[in-house]
Each structure stands twice: as C-alpha cells, then as structure tokens.
C-alpha cells in the first residue's frame, strides 16, 4: 500500500482543528464516477469546499492512499455522530458508471469497473488493518468497522448507501462482513485486542508504539538503517521473541520487518 500525505490545510474542517479519540473506521465510496483521488484532493483543499472532509481517498486506478487529514483529526464525513469517533475513508468509484438517481447507476464497462473496485477494496483492507493495529481496534467487534450505510442504519450517519450500493450494483460479491473478515485475516491470527490481553508492565503487544534501541539489529542480524532507528514504529505482530514492526507512527513508511523483542522499547 502506498500512502501519500496530502493534508487539506485549506479545508475549513482542517481549520476547525478538533481531535477525536479513534474508536472505529468508516468506509465510504465517493458517489460519483471519478476514479482519480487527486481530483478530490485538489477540489477539497479549498476554503470554499463544501462542508465535508475525510481522512483519506483511495485512488481507483492505483490504489494509492492519499491521507487528507491527520488520523486523529475530527472529520466531516458521516453527517452524524460517527464524526466524533470514526476515521472516514473514501474509495474512488469507476469512471465508467453513470448515476441514474439516488444510489442507482448503470455501467458501460463492467470489467473495467470491477478492476477499479478490486483495487480500492484491496487498498482499503490494508489501510484498515494498519489503522486497527495502530489504534488497538478489533475489526470484528460490533460497530468498529462500518460502512456509511451501516452508520445510517445505526443512526450515527446521514442517509447514504455507500459503498454497499456500489458493490451490490456491480454484483461484485463484496460485502461489509467480507471486508471485516479480510481486514482480520490480514492482521493475522497473532492479533489480539489489546484491551482483552492481560499484559505485564512494559511488555510489548501488537498495536503498540515503540522505539528501537540504538544497538538494535534486524532479526536476521542485518543492520538497521539510522532513519528506521530514529522513527517511532507500530508493532504488527508478535510470536515468542520475534516482533514484526510495520508502519511508522505517521503512516508514511511500511517496512514489515522482524526484530527481536528485546530491542523494542514501548512508548
Ligand atoms: Zn459516504
């Protein structure tokens, strides 16, 4: 997954500067035939942008994630109380569909549309797994990962059908239950909800933020470059004394590298 930071500093939502404690993740799709994330990034980085702002857009052609708000910034994506708890991520939609009213659409090239939907789905699974790890969220827990539509059903979001309408309208076979399952599978069997895991003081758990000790080397014995030693990393999984660190704190780099747990210091 490629992550590009493109914070929308000209959007009124950024200027509102509110923070949230992240309790969940909401999946959206843009609701118009536009597969370029950069088009949205450009359009929304504007003081006169409509009163909407999300944390990320996923490009329909490349799967690149454009992070448009810091993850703990309060977004304006749900049109309801979910803005206070959930990170909002938009998947771009295929350019070969045409909306016919409401959530109904027609599609002129199903194969092309399926490629776009798969591309955004796969990237969203990776992004959501990364964010669940980072915030200690269990992807299968009730209400943690929800679509905009499910948010509406729970009365914490406005009346939208995304992205369920896109997946069902194209008969992709994708569902939110399947999506949650994919996120869980990617996080691996080693993942445990930190709140359910009794831990000793100072013991490192998946999802923890760590620094590497200056003398740290990779599990293979290879040297760790200085830029890795100087950053803060999130623990992805742990088996015995072998920890895998994946994303750095800002989410800009993923190294997915094993390190002996003795070299990690929890922060
Ligand atoms: Zn939405």
Tell how far the Cα of 55 is from the centroid of ligand 1, in angstroms.
12
244 close to 234: Cβ distance less than 8 angstroms: no
Confidence of residue 126 (pLDDT cuts 50, 70, 90): very high
pLDDT at 193 over 60: no
- To the question of pTM greater than 0.85 for the whole model, the response is no
141/255 same-domain check: no
240/180 same-domain check: no
93/147 same-domain check: yes
How many C-beta atoms surround the C-beta of residue 225 within 10 A? 9
Does residue 8 come out as left (phi exceeding 0), alpha (psi in the -120 to 50 range) or beta? beta
Tell how far the Cα of 179 is from the centroid of ligand 1, in angstroms.
16
Share of the chain above pLDDT 70, in %: 94
How high is the pLDDT of residue 198? 44
How high is the pLDDT of residue 134? 93
Q: Quick one: CA torsion of 57, 60, 62, 64, rounded to 10 degrees?
A: 10
Residue 50, class by beta-carbon neighbours within 10 Å (0-12 exposed, 13-18 middle, 19+ buried)? exposed
User: 126: domain CATH number?
Assistant: 3.40.80.10
Q: Residue 167 has which token pair?
A: 């997946």
C-alpha distances (whole Å) from 112 to each of 12, 61, 115, 137, 258 are 35, 10, 5, 34, 38
Tell how far the Cα of 27 is from the centroid of ligand 1, in angstroms.
7
157 close to 80: Cβ distance less than 8 angstroms: yes
Tell how far the Cα of 230 is from the centroid of ligand 1, in angstroms.
37
List pLDDT tens digits, range 76-112. 999 999 999 999 999 999 999 999 999 999 999 999 9
211/152 same-domain check: no
Q: No. of H helices and E strands in the chain?
A: 7, 13
111/231 same-domain check: no
Q: Domain boundary residue among 187, 211, 245?
A: 187
Q: Domain boundary residue among 187, 206, 226?
A: 187
118/171 same-domain check: yes
How high is the pLDDT of residue 219? 86
Q: For the residues 165-179, what does the mean pLDDT come to?
A: 97
Q: Domain boundary residue among 187, 221, 245?
A: 187
123/142 same-domain check: yes
pLDDT at 203 over 90: no
Tell how far the Cα of 191 is from the centroid of ligand 1, in angstroms.
29
How high is the pLDDT of residue 9? 95
Adjacent-strand bridge partners of 24? 86
How high is the pLDDT of residue 199? 46
**Domain membership of residue 15 as a residue range:** 3-187
How high is the pLDDT of residue 241? 82
Tell how far the Cα of 193 is from the centroid of ligand 1, in angstroms.
27
Start-to-end CA distance of the chain, whole Å, equals 26
173/233 same-domain check: no
List pLDDT tens digits, range 35-67. 999 999 999 999 988 789 999 999 999 999 999
C-alpha distances (whole Å) from 171 to each of 26, 111, 168 are 22, 12, 5
List pLDDT tens digits, range 111-120. 999 999 999 9
Tell how far the Cα of 217 is from the centroid of ligand 1, in angstroms.
44
183/218 same-domain check: no
Which residues have C-beta within 8 Å of that of residue 237, sequence separation ≥ 6?
A: 187, 188, 190, 191, 206, 243, 244
Domains in the chain, number: 2
pLDDT at 200 over 80: no
237/181 same-domain check: no
125/49 same-domain check: yes
Cα separation, 94 vs 97, in Å, equals 6
Q: Residue 66 has which token pair?
A: 């454009």
Average pLDDT of the chain, as a whole number: 92
Least confident of 122-126, 142-146, 206-210: 206-210
Tell how far the Cα of 113 is from the centroid of ligand 1, in angstroms.
19
212/142 same-domain check: no
Q: Residue 61 has which token pair?
A: 């052609």
């Amino acid at each position: 997954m490629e992550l590009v930071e493109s914070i929308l500093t000209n959007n009124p939502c950024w200027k509102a500067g509110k923070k949230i404690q992240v309790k969940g993740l909401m999946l959206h799709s843009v609701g118009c035939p536009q597969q370029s994330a950069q088009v949205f990034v450009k359009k929304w980085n504007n003081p006169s942008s409509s009163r909407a702002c999300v944390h990320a857009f996923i490009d329909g052609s490349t799967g690149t994630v454009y992070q448009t708000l810091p993850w703990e910034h309060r977004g304006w994506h749900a049109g309801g109380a979910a803005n206070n708890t959930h990170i909002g991520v938009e998947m771009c939609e295929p350019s070969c569909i045409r909306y016919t009213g409401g959530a109904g659409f027609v599609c002129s090239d199903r194969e092309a549309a399926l490629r776009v939907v798969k591309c955004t789905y796969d990237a969203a699974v990776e992004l959501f797994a990364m964010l669940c790890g980072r915030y200690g969220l269990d992807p299968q827990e009730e209400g943690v990962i929800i679509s905009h539509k499910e948010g509406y059903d729970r009365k914490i979001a406005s009346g939208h059908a995304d992205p369920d309408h896109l997946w069902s309208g194209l008969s992709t076979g994708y569902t939110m239950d399947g999506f949650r399952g994919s996120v869980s599978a990617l996080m691996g069997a080693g993942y445990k909800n930190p709140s359910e895991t009794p831990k000793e003081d100072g013991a490192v758990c998946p999802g923890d933020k760590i620094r590497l000790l200056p003398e740290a080397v990779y599990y293979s014995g290879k040297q760790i470059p200085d830029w890795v030693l100087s950053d803060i990393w999130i623990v992805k999984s742990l088996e015995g004394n072998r920890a895998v660190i994946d994303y750095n704190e800002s989410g800009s780099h993923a190294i997915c590298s094993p390190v002996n747990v003795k070299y990690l210091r929890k922060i």
